């Protein structure tokens, strides 16, 4: 355990990792904004990024020139406990970062199939390439909402469209995901994961090349900076 800058709270390895990733992402956004009017940050949902969001939000950056969107989203209301947008609003768009512009991946449509085209138009208006795409990974090797058991996986791995509506037996809600081709459009790619289980999945992914088995494989050659803690 080390201590944070106030020398009060002991930091867990995951908290230290979140701080290191926040520093790196803040530096990347700052560097890009020196030579472009706006910068785009693509983040993932789930439980892993929360401490990172909290840390990044505190950086003094020209947030009014920063757009934030998600790699994927559950097709639920923003008030839902499973909404990635809710996590971003509650943990990232706080303090200095409240001045950023957030672009959610949902619409008022009943299904992601109905909403995907208008979300794609919204996404394509952003400042690509993104400064950073931060990916997470599930225990099944999924990243964003590219699930091994989804009927839309092949489409999501190959289409030039920006978004794909996804359904998978392994997850409760329908989802929308940025396609692999859209997620590839970034200056920097990061994989942020924690725990020995995910390290083992990543090692398995690195030993093969079939992205339909472990979709994270579609990003291993980006190159991908790996942020891992026990």
Ligand X SMILES: O=C1O[C@H](COP(=O)(O)O)[C@@H](O)[C@H](O)[C@H]1O
Q: How many residues bind ligand X (CB under 6 A)?
A: 13
106 in contact with ligand X (CB under 6 A)? no
19 in contact with ligand X (CB under 6 A)? no
46 in contact with ligand X (CB under 6 A)? yes
44 in contact with ligand X (CB under 6 A)? yes
DSSP code string of 113-155: HHHHHHHHHHHHTS-SSBSEEEE---TTS-BTTB-TT-TTHHH
The CB-of-48 to ligand X minimum distance in angstroms stands at 3
Stretch that binds ligand X, among 17-25, 44-52, 53-61, 118-126 (CB under 6 A): 44-52
The CB-of-66 to ligand X minimum distance in angstroms stands at 20
Per-residue tokens: 173: 């809600």
138 in contact with ligand X (CB under 6 A)? yes
Stretch that binds ligand X, among 29-37, 39-47, 85-93, 205-213 (CB under 6 A): 39-47
Stretch that binds ligand X, among 19-27, 41-49, 100-108, 199-207 (CB under 6 A): 41-49
72, 100, 130, 214: which one binds ligand X (CB under 6 A): 72
Q: What is the C-alpha to C-alpha distance for residues 148 and 167, in angstroms, rounded to an integer?
A: 11
5, 6, 7, 47: which one binds ligand X (CB under 6 A): 47
How would you class 56 by CB atoms within 10 Å of its CB: exposed for 0-12, middle for 13-18, buried for 19 or more? buried
| Angstrom distances, CA of residue 53 to CA of 6, 18, 25 | 19, 8, 11
How would you class 6 by CB atoms within 10 Å of its CB: exposed for 0-12, middle for 13-18, buried for 19 or more? exposed
Per-residue tokens: 76: 């639920």
């Amino acid at each position: 355990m080390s201590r944070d800058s106030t020398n009060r709270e002991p930091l867990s390895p995951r908290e230290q990792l979140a701080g290191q990733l926040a520093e790196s992402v803040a530096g990347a956004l700052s560097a890009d904004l020196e030579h472009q009017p706006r910068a785009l940050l693509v983040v993932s949902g789930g439980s892993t990024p929360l401490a990172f969001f909290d840390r990044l939000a505190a950086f003094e950056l020209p947030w009014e020139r920063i757009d934030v969107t998600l790699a994927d989203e559950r097709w639920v209301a923003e008030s839902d406990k499973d909404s990635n947008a809710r996590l971003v609003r509650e943990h990232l768009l706080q303090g200095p970062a409240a001045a950023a512009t957030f672009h959610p991946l949902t619409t008022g449509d009943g299904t992601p199939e109905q909403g995907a085209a208008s979300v794609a138009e919204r996404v394509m208006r952003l400042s690509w390439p993104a400064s950073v795409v931060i990916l997470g990974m599930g225990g099944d090797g999924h990243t964003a909402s590219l699930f091994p058991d989804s009927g839309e996986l092949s489409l999501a791995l190959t289409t030039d469209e920006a978004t794909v509506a996804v359904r998978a037996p392994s997850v409760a809600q329908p989802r929308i995901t940025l396609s692999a081709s859209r997620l590839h459009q970034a200056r920097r790619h990061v994989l942020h994961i924690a725990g020995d289980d995910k390290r083992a999945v990543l090692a398995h992914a690195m030993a093969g090349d079939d992205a339909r088995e472990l979709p994270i494989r579609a990003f291993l050659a980006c190159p991908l900076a790996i942020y891992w803690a026990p």
